[in-house]
Amino acid sequence: MRKAAVHNLGCKVNAYESEAMRQLLEQAGYEIVPFRERADVYIINTCSVTNIADRKSRQMLHRAKKQNRDAVVVAVGCYVQAAAEELKRDPAVDIIIGNNKKQDLVAILEEWFLSSSRQKNEGIASEHVIEIGSTKEYERLHIDGTADHTRALIKIQDGCNQFCSYCIIPYTRGRVRSRLPQEVEQEAAYLAAAGYREMVLTGIHLSSYGMDFAEPKKEALTDLIRRLHGTEGIVRIRLGSLEPRIVTREFVDALAEIPEICPHFHLSLQSGCDATLKRMNRRYTTEEYANCCALLREVFPNAAITTDVIVGFPGETEEEFAETKAFLRRIHFYEMHVFKYSARSGTRAAAMPDQIPEPVKTRRSEELLTLEKEMSREYRQRFLHTAQEVLLEEEVPIQGSAWLVGHTREYVKVAVPAGDFCPNTLVEVVPRQMLTEEILRG
């Protein structure tokens, strides 16, 4: 029996696809082992959203070959789409598989092992990469479980048509392709029957779900959620990242009618300055964004709103950065993911003038991370001394004792003594102390 190890880099979509590939290998008779162990096959599901992601992808590929020089090292995913020519000639890589070809992983490996020569042909890796921008096919991967025994990711969409000026993703993931709603229903029902109580709907551009469906079968994201409503065993439905323009009165009212919906909304922002947003090709203004947040909070009064922010975008002056910081304070997010701008070859922003020096990006990033901690703490304090529904997930040691950690519907982390409850249980608790990372680390 051959041993295989799968390592994931990047987003929730990648995490879903890595789990699907792991299950394909297991069904084909491979023994799945941890990545740190010696294996016959190493699968690295790569990411290319930033230069750092590229570097991490290369590092993991080289680490795999170092662990076993005789192993088959397979590079999969977004970095393959972005840098296929480079990876084909990398001595650490034996096979490259692009997006929309992950479903063929087992067949590709069988072909490799059955070939008369298992060595790279003249130093070139075996290539399985399509022109991703031309395909209209949704890759039919599926899962029947995850390592998390309470919460399951369900990928419902792939690709993006937005072409933000800084983003490589439309070039690595292709155009919008939606999963058939019947397939989503089936997977959700299967996962719920297996004991998963919370479903997280994820995609590359979740807000575009269904836009590629032909009439009269066209369905939007809210239509899909209505299909999942009432599925036996599902008590929570959580949404992945949303674009602000999807947040209309009709959209929010539709969500409010579905009791399983968690009032936790990740609204991608990127900048709090209109001039910067225009250069980014983000297609909304800060006032439009603020109105979306106000609408969510009107219908879901204590909604957790999280976001992404890029600092150091080309041409971002000190005044523009100050506008962004003031806007972030005004909205008062629960959490922010702060990224330093990373020039991606092939995007419009990479060729823009007035690129920002790295030390300036670092300073601005640190300022926003400090603000993020402050706002997050203020938001979480609202939950102290109030009754909260918590889905318990796992046991962890805290200050020498065993505790069960879970999340509220707003995705605020809560801990309760382990002896009182069991994992995968919904409980009502009254938090009386702020749960900080320092406490969790012991």
Is residue 46 domain-resident?
yes
Is residue 118 domain-resident?
yes
Q: What is the CATH number of the domain that holds 29?
A: 3.40.50.12160
Q: What is the number of structural domains in the chain? A: 3
Task: Kindly report the number of other CB atoms within 10 A of residue 131's CB atom.
Answer: 10
Is residue 137 domain-resident?
no
pLDDT per residue rounded down to tens, the chain (442 residues) = 999 999 999 999 999 999 999 999 999 999 999 999 999 999 999 999 999 999 999 999 999 999 999 999 999 999 999 999 999 999 999 999 999 999 999 999 999 998 855 556 667 899 999 999 999 999 999 999 887 789 999 999 999 999 999 999 999 999 999 999 999 999 999 999 999 999 999 999 999 999 999 987 789 999 999 999 999 999 999 999 999 999 999 999 999 999 999 999 999 999 999 999 999 999 999 999 999 999 999 999 999 999 999 999 999 999 999 999 999 999 999 999 999 999 999 999 999 999 999 999 999 999 999 999 999 999 999 999 999 999 999 999 988 889 999 999 999 999 999 987 899 999 999 998 888 776 766 5
Whether residues 372 and 396 fall in one domain: no
Q: What is the CATH number of the domain that holds 294?
A: 3.80.30.20
Q: What's the longest Cα–Cα distance across the chain?
A: 68
Q: Return the closest-CA partner of residue 328 out of 313, 311, 312, 342.
A: 311
Whether residues 266 and 284 fall in one domain: yes
- 130, 159, 185: which is the final residue of a domain? 130
Q: How far is CA 407 from CA 264, 334, 387, 437, in A?
A: 11, 14, 13, 14
Is residue 200 domain-resident?
yes
Is residue 144 domain-resident?
no
Alpha-carbon gap, residue 259 to 272, rounded angstroms: 32
Say if residues 42 and 59 touch (Cβ distance below 8 Å): no
Q: Which domain holds residue 105?
A: 3-130
Q: Return the closest-CA partner of residue 237 out of 258, 259, 260, 216.
A: 260
The alpha carbon dihedral of 35, 36, 39, 43 has a sign of positive
Whether residues 213 and 74 fall in one domain: no
Q: Is 44 exposed, middle or buried (0-12, 13-18, 19+ CB in 10 A)?
A: buried
Whether residues 121 and 45 fall in one domain: yes
Check residue 121 and give its pLDDT: 66
227-233 contacts: CB < 8 A, separation 24 or more?
227/181, 227/184, 227/185, 228/184, 228/185, 228/188, 228/199, 228/260, 229/258, 229/259, 229/260, 231/185, 231/188, 231/189, 231/192, 232/189, 232/192, 232/193, 233/192, 233/193, 233/195, 233/196, 233/197
Whether residues 187 and 282 fall in one domain: yes
Is residue 138 domain-resident?
no
Alpha-carbon gap, residue 125 to 86, rounded angstroms: 10
Is residue 281 domain-resident?
yes
The alpha carbon dihedral of 72, 76, 81, 83 has a sign of negative
Whether residues 335 and 403 fall in one domain: no
The alpha carbon dihedral of 406, 388, 416, 390 has a sign of negative
Alpha-carbon gap, residue 235 to 43, rounded angstroms: 34
Whether residues 121 and 180 fall in one domain: no
Is residue 135 domain-resident?
no
Check residue 435 and give its pLDDT: 83
Q: How far is CA 126 from CA 86, 115, 178, 436, in A?
A: 13, 11, 29, 48
Whether residues 339 and 398 fall in one domain: no
Whether residues 268 and 157 fall in one domain: yes
The pair phi, psi for residue 382, each rounded to 5°, is -60, -25
Extract the tokens encoding 274: 């209109």
Which residues 6+ apart lie within 8 Å of 357 measured at CB? none
Whether residues 316 and 401 fall in one domain: no
Whether residues 266 and 407 fall in one domain: no
Position 162, amino acid? Q
Whether residues 235 and 345 fall in one domain: yes
- 381, 406, 425: which is the final residue of a domain? 381
- 342, 361, 381: which is the final residue of a domain? 381
Check residue 283 and give its pLDDT: 95
